[in-house]
Structure 1
Amino acid sequence: MTVRTRFAPSPTGFIHLGNIRSALYPWAFARATGGTFILRIEDTDLERSSQAAVDVIIEGMKWLGLDHDEGPFYQMQRMDRYKAVLADMVTDGHVYPCYMSMAELDALRERQMSNKEKPRYDGTWRPEPGKVLPPVPEGVKPVLRFKNPQGGVVAWDDKVKGLIEIRNDELDDLVIARPDGTPTYNFCVVVDDIDMAITHVIRGDDHVNNTPRQINIFRALGKEPPVYAHLPTVLNELGEKMSKRNGAKPVTQYRDEGYLPDAMVNYLARLGWSHGDDEIFSRAQFLEWFNLDHLGRSAAQFDEAKLRWVNAQHMKAMDDVALSTLVAEQLAKRGITADDRLARICGLFKDRCDTTVALAGWAAAFYGDVTPSAEELAQHVTELIKPALSTLAQKLAAGAWDKASISTAIKETITAHGIKMPQLAMPVRVLVMGTAQTPSLDAVLELQNQQTVLARLQNA
């Protein structure tokens, strides 16, 4: 069997990390098994769906490298197909018109709840042998309801939750077409999954209640349902379900904040799946290891500090030239054009950073003015040290501009003035980089422009 998976978001708002994890796992399963990954846009909610939301879905997936093999398919463009299947189901007796009004439904629910019964449609308009249906009211357009099987159970072996069984008597007859003939979500999903030959449905566990209804529709259409894996919810840092109402950010905002796509894939993968105790792994390792047998059953909680740590590990491991391309993009947002020094700057400073934005902050000091704080100037650039700064400037001006020569000039200045390395290095760092804490001073100065260094020392 060739694996065929899908990601089927509704474009009713921006896509956040909780949503995109439901794309990551079916993508990874398709890639790990040599299968096919399909993108399907479920846009039947016309009031809330927007093209802008579709664009963010596609942009976020592209940034994370979750490439799809087929699609995007749009449900609104498949209405003729749904209506054709509906007509066949009416002919085959799987669907019937229901004329019960909303007022009648509300009254029915109130009676059931007052009797402490589960509120559900009571089958008033369901045709049965020997049953006399009410007279059809004039001027009322009916909904179409699916004749759910009566008696027995609908069951499936969920790849996350194990065996799930629901009694058919717990399920009422689902509305699968509105009065205007528009098909509803659960019906469209089944037709799509059949037409697209989906073998595995990997989605959030908020869909568990839909699954028995969908399975029954599959079987009414003469098809066996796919394998299901319902993923536990992703919680925010307060333990609430991740959502835009609870402060979730669009996926693309993490790109803008300087996170690496491979680090995001690594972090998201661990929000509900594991490979032993491995915390940091490459995309290739993830795809080599991924299967549906190690999906977690418990809700995963987002932790931005952990995400930053994962991102920092990936930055440390990343090739300096490749990393400099991303940092150059961040610098460009500040109006700074980088040069061929940037890869070496990234190599020198990346161990100190957890995002490319932070790394761009260090790199900016090599391409423009710096403004040390008054406190650091007062603490480190004292009258006692200024003669040594002048000596260092003279020695740097007279020597070659390479790490070894710069190191020699620093050592000779320390010896000449009878001071210790920190007494000279700290003020030089403050003047040249705007902060007293940097990597090795000779390595930092070598990457700076010589005339810039001399001017900043001489102006002390």
Structure 2
Amino acid sequence: MSVRVRFAPSPTGHIHVGNVRTALFNYLFARNQGGKFILRIEDTDLERSSLESEKLIYEDLQWLGLDWDEGPIIGGNYGPYKQTERYKIYKKYIQKLLDEGKAYKCFCSKDELEEMKEKALKEGRPPRYNGKCRNLTLQEIESFEKEGKKASIRFKVEDLEVRISDIIKGEISFKTDAFGDFIIVRPDGMPVYNFVVVIDDALMEITHVIRGDDHLSNTPKQVLIYNALGFKVPKFAHIPMILGPDHSKLSKRHGDTSVNQFREKGYLPEALFNYLALLSWSHPEEKEILSKDELIEAFSLDRVSKSAAVFDFEKLKWMNGIYIRNKSKEELTKLCVPYLISEGLVTDRYVNENFDKLADMIESIRDNLELLSDVAQYIEVYFKLNTILDEKAKELLVKDTSIPVLRTFLSEIEKVDELNEKIYKTIVKSVQKSTGAKGKNLFMVIRIGVSGLTKGPELDKLVVNLGKDEVVKRVREILRLIGNHDF
């Protein structure tokens, strides 16, 4: 049978990076093996699930490039792909277990169950169900139902031990006396996760269940259900969790944790895809910058570590910067535009009328960008002259050569019809010859004259992109500040 894997999120909001890393490993494994990647929505938690959150999941996965072969939106031969649409299917298999004596109705109240738990703990035993309703007669069941008592349904655990061979964790043995007869349907009639996930995976012919190791404790219960219903047990691969920089479980207190947050900050999907793939997995040649195709070709579960991965925000940012620098000039500009508009630096009309000029500006600051959202900070110099000079700028401007440098530079700029890099360099040489200034007393002073800052884009590109009229206007303003001692 060809490989079939699934990602089954609950629609309760944007996807956490831990969950999307699980989706990504499933995706890479399926693509590497020429199999199918299935999306299934586990929406039985009616209080927390919503259609809006469901749409967010689709958006997050599509943005990241995790296209599914079967599931919501596109359909498939094994649907429905939402659990709330599969109740009739679940009911059929619940009845099968009851009819075969592999499950039973339990009428114990919450208070009774709590009392059992407390007693077991006091006696040093696992707090598991004591089997009180395991052997109820039909008459007793009918009597309880006539009284209006709601029953949960428990799976009857007969095996003393469950053994699994996990692709990542290896051979694992579970003693069933740790949990005993467990609930598969709540008193309100809602089947629980450990039951429905088995039915869904079995009927959708899932061959490999690749999921976080926080699900490892659920596995023995699920294996028991597989066996009781005569289903083939899939291969399991439990991947380690993702930790924050402090080595505790990654959570909101560490910063961005959802795909949407990374997207809004200006991370590129290719960079996040690449980075997440390297959390607890490594390339055979230890490469780090890898395209989707390269990751698909190299991915294998036997290179997944047993150890938890630490989410390094700085490394992700570094990797994102590499992907930004590899974008074409036009594509990078289009990606940056929304951030410039949101900061009020440009309008749609400005972009339409000055796209090439804007692209040149962004190109001059490309190497400074680690996030797309950084663009507003670095490009602001093109839209606004800084007139609140820092101490370093003031120290330079009071030197004897500074005013002559700026006045000569202004005079030379005013003589030309237009600016380009060649003309700019000729002007600078003329200023140097006339004033004798060099080094920072020349270049840094010119930079302050055209921007009011001591740092920024390459000076020749800054001057050319600003254009003659804007440069003249700015240098005059800085000279006015110096003359009036307004700094």
Into which bin does the TM-score normalised by the smaller protein fall? over 0.9
Displacement of 1:439 after TM fit?
4.2
Cα distance, 1:113–1:349 mapped onto 2, change above 3 Å: same
Equivalence map 1:79-118=2 (5 Å): 79-118=87-126
Displacement of 1:440 after TM fit?
3.1
CA deviation profile, 1:219-258 (whole Å, cap 9, x unmatched): 2221112111111111112222123466553321111111
Does residue 370 in structure 1 map to residue 388 in structure 2? no
Cα distance, 1:272–1:391 mapped onto 2, change above 3 Å: same
Give 5+ residue unaligned stretches, structure 1.
none
Cα distance, 1:379–1:20 mapped onto 2, change above 3 Å: farther
Counterpart of 2:210, as a letter, is: I
Aligned equivalent of 1:260, options 247, 258, 268: 268
Conserved? CA contact 1:266–1:281, under 8 Å? yes
Which residue is equivalent to 1:355? 371
Aligned equivalent of 1:305, options 314, 317, 337: 314
Aligned equivalents of 2:370 and 2:116: distance in 1?
Answer: 58
Which residue is equivalent to 1:456? 474
Conserved? CA contact 1:372–1:430, under 8 Å? no
Aligned equivalents of 1:221 and 1:10: distance in 2?
Answer: 25
Aligned equivalent of 2:181, options 162, 166, 173: 173
Aligned equivalents of 2:333 and 2:32: distance in 1?
Answer: 30
Conserved? CA contact 2:393–2:453, under 8 Å? no
CA deviation profile, 1:74-97 (whole Å, cap 9, x unmatched): 212222221122222222332211
Cα distance, 1:54–1:396 mapped onto 2, change above 3 Å: same
Which residue is equivalent to 1:381? 397
Displacement of 1:188 after TM fit?
0.9
Which one is further off, 294-303 or 28-37? 28-37
CA deviation profile, 1:381-410 (whole Å, cap 9, x unmatched): 347312221221222233342111111111
Q: Secondary structure at the match of 1:277?
A: coil
Q: Secondary structure at the match of 2:71?
A: strand
Which residue is equivalent to 1:293? 302
Aligned equivalents of 1:428 and 1:285: distance in 2?
Answer: 47
Aligned equivalent of 1:396, options 388, 409, 413: 413
Conserved? CA contact 2:242–2:249, under 8 Å? yes
Counterpart of 1:371, as a letter, is: N
Q: Secondary structure at the match of 1:197?
A: coil
Does residue 429 in structure 1 map to residue 444 in structure 2? no
Aligned equivalents of 2:454 and 2:247: distance in 1?
Answer: 39
Aligned equivalents of 1:238 and 1:51: distance in 2?
Answer: 35
Aligned equivalents of 2:157 and 2:26: distance in 1?
Answer: 29
Cα distance, 1:283–1:134 mapped onto 2, change above 3 Å: closer
Cα distance, 1:26–1:328 mapped onto 2, change above 3 Å: same
Equivalence map 1:46-85=2 (5 Å): 46-72=46-72, 73-85=81-93
Aligned equivalent of 2:282, options 274, 277, 290: 274
Displacement of 1:54 after TM fit?
2.6
Which residue is equivalent to 1:333? 342
Displacement of 1:413 after TM fit?
0.9
Conserved? CA contact 1:96–1:145, under 8 Å? yes
Cα distance, 1:227–1:357 mapped onto 2, change above 3 Å: same
- What percent identity do the matched residue pairs reach? 39
Counterpart of 2:243, as a letter, is: L
Which one is further off, 405-414 or 426-435? 426-435
Aligned equivalents of 2:168 and 2:412: distance in 1?
Answer: 68
Displacement of 1:134 after TM fit?
8.5
CA deviation profile, 1:81-136 (whole Å, cap 9, x unmatched): 211222222223322111122111111111111110011012222249x9997995
Aligned equivalents of 2:247 and 2:470: distance in 1?
Answer: 50
Which residue is equivalent to 2:44? 44
Cα distance, 1:278–1:215 mapped onto 2, change above 3 Å: same
Q: Report the count of equivalent residues.
A: 457
Equivalence map 1:183-262=2 (5 Å): 183-244=191-252, 248-262=256-270
TM-score (norm 2): 0.87
Counterpart of 2:454, as a letter, is: A
Conserved? CA contact 2:378–2:456, under 8 Å? no
Q: Secondary structure at the match of 1:216?
A: helix
Aligned equivalent of 1:126, options 116, 121, 134: 134
Counterpart of 1:430, as a letter, is: I
Aligned equivalents of 1:268 and 1:209: distance in 2?
Answer: 24
Which one is further off, 13-22 or 193-202? 13-22
Cα distance, 1:131–1:49 mapped onto 2, change above 3 Å: closer
Equivalence map 1:152-171=2 (5 Å): 153-171=161-179
Q: Secondary structure at the match of 1:70?
A: coil
Which one is further off, 434-443 or 262-271? 434-443
Does residue 142 in structure 1 map to residue 151 in structure 2? yes
Which residue is equivalent to 2:483? none
CA deviation profile, 1:259-299 (whole Å, cap 9, x unmatched): 11111112111111111422222222212211111111111
Give 5+ residue unaligned stretches, structure 2.
73-80, 479-487
Aligned equivalents of 1:41 and 1:391: distance in 2?
Answer: 69
Q: Secondary structure at the match of 2:426?
A: helix
Displacement of 1:341 after TM fit?
2.7
Aligned equivalents of 1:327 and 1:46: distance in 2?
Answer: 39
Conserved? CA contact 1:14–1:250, under 8 Å? yes
Aligned equivalents of 1:60 and 1:285: distance in 2?
Answer: 22
